[in-house]
């Protein structure tokens, strides 16, 4: 598990359950989930999507189980899946029982749709006997009508009460392998519901903003909701619910966890400046070329593309590798130290080549292989550009002296 920094609150203490061979809660790494969009009865198509999700970073995948054909499809999918499979159940408890027969690793039940206590307890008893956990999946848009009437709408108290009532039914049959979600499409409602639930139980929590919509808005809403809670130490497993290819959900979930330091980086993390008047290259184009090439290589490093040599290497000094452009050259740097100066038209090629060597040989070896004249050449380029373009943005002492003189004149 990645090291947590002081900026992220300590993880909430939760009990641990096992979804197949994947631990959830109890200090285990936060996991990424997604859901297939294929018909579960289409075994080959569903498996193809599951493998794509696995490749994009999903630890657990959910499939709908809405009819007999879907249940039979699950029986063929489960033994061939690279990740544990969760069966999504809504209105028919019989589908939950069929999914258990199919060998799924977990069930998801919506308390708003599956309401009869005797049916819920029957499913929980069967899951208990098989050692299969259940997610109580509360959704603000499908609460029990009595809760809408009691609270006047979907409010945090209503979502939490729904979850805890279902949990009490499970308790009546001595079933405790549970995780809970209280999702809403309204981000503040979602955040407050999870905060309240985190205080009420030690059950592991599955985070998500439901029906977040297509990117970029869906990505923003999900990142704000999920990211806020993770930063507060709340959450054990997550799902982005996007109107998009589910592979994008898995990628986004993984990237969020990596950005928060909750999972080790497993792929490219590209940082790039937003561009300004000092840039001498098309930063957007160069960054796009680098991202396209390096994502295919799946190199687990942070790479920076900076548009000028004035501030670039310094601002991106924490990057494993980067390049800054200036005077028709590219200043190649590792951990902020210039290792080579290359022609502008070779920047992308040289950056990719150095990235491969860095991953293979390590930072110290690549620093030792640096061109001994590179740092001096880069400093001359930087000084020249400061003189031409950068004085207005970087000559801070001159500005301080000007302010002092003016203030002195005002006082006089």
Q: Could you read off the pLDDT of 182-232 as tens digits, one per residue? A: 999 999 999 999 999 999 999 999 999 999 999 999 999 999 999 999 999
Residues 6+ apart with CB under 8 A from 401: none
pTM of the model: 0.84
Q: Give the count of alpha carbons within 13 A of 286, CB side only.
A: 30
Question: Are the beta carbons of 359 and 345 closer than 8 angstroms?
Answer: no
DSSP-assigned beta bridge partners for residue 272: 305
CA 109, CA 409: separation in Å to the nearest integer?
74
Tell me the CA distances in angstroms from 295 to 270, 287, 320, 366, one per residue in order: 9, 12, 16, 21
Domains of the chain: 17-259 (3.20.20.20), 269-394 (3.30.413.10)
Walk across the sheet containing 329-334 and list its strands: 269-272, 302-306, 321-326, 329-334, 337-343
**1 falls in which pLDDT band (50, 70, 90)?**
very low
Looking at the chain, the whole-number percentage of residues with pLDDT higher than 90 is: 67
Name the average pLDDT for the chain.
90
pLDDT score of 309 more than 70: no
Mean pLDDT of 285-289: 87
- Beta strand residue intervals within 65-130, DSSP E: 85-89, 106-109
Task: Tell me the pLDDT tens digit for each residue of 364-397.
Answer: 999 999 988 888 887 887 777 766 655 444 455 5
Q: Is the pLDDT of residue 100 over 90?
A: yes
For the stretch 25-62, pLDDT in tens is: 999 999 999 999 999 999 999 999 999 999 999 999 99
Dihedrals φ, ψ of 203, to 5°? -65, 140
The CB density around residue 195, as the number of other CB atoms within 10 Å, is: 16
pLDDT of 4 above 60: no
282 confidence band (pLDDT: 50, 70, 90): confident
Q: Does pLDDT of 273 surpass 90?
A: no
In terms of Cα–Cα distance, which of 107, 34, 57, 49 is closest to 80?
49
């Amino acid at each position: 598990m990645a090291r947590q920094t002081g900026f992220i609150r300590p993880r909430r203490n939760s009990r641990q359950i096992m979804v197949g061979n994947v631990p959830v809660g109890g200090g285990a790494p936060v996991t990424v989930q997604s859901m297939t969009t294929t018909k579960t009865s289409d075994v080959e198509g569903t498996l193809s999507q599951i493998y794509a999700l696995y490749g994009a970073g999903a630890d657990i995948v959910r499939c709908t189980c809405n009819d007999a054909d879907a249940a039979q499809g699950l029986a063929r999918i489960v033994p061939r899946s690279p990740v544990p499979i969760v069966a999504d159940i809504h209105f028919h408890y019989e589908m939950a029982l069929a999914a258990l027969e199919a060998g799924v690793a977990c069930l998801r039940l919506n308390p708003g749709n599956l309401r009869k206590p005797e049916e819920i307890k029957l499913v929980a008893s069967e899951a208990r006997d098989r050692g299969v956990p259940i997610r109580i999946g509360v959704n603000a848009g499908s609460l029990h009508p009595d809760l809408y009437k009691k609270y006047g709408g979907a409010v945090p108290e209503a979502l939490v009460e729904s979850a805890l009532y279902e949990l009490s039914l499970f308790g009546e049959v001595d079933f405790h392998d549970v995780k809970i979600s209280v999702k809403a499409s309204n981000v503040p409602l979602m955040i407050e519901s999870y905060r309240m639930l985190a205080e009420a139980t030690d059950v592991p929590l599955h985070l998500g903003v439901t029906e977040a919509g297509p990117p970029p808005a869906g990505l923003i809403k999900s990142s704000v909701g999920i990211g806020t809670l993770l930063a507060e130490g709340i959450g054990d497993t997550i799902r982005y619910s996007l109107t998009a290819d589910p592979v994008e959900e898995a990628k986004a979930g993984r990237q969020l966890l990596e950005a928060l330091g909750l999972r080790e980086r497993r792929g490219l993390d590209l940082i790039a400046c937003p561009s300004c008047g000092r840039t001498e290259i098309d930063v957007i184009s160069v960054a796009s070329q680098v991202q396209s090439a390096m994502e295919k290589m799946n190199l687990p490093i942070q790479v920076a593309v900076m548009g000028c040599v004035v501030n670039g290497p310094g601002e991106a000094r924490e990057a494993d590798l980067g390049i800054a452009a200036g005077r028709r050259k590219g200043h190649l740097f590792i951990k902020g130290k210039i290792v080579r100066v290359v022609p502008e038209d070779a920047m992308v090629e040289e950056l990719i080549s150095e990235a491969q060597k860095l991953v293979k040989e390590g930072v110290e070896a690549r620093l030792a292989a640096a061109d001994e004249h590179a740092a001096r050449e880069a400093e001359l380029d930087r000084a020249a550009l400061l003189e031409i373009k950068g004085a207005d943005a970087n000559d801070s002492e001159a500005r301080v002296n000007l302010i002092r003189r003016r203030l002195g004149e005002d006082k006089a």
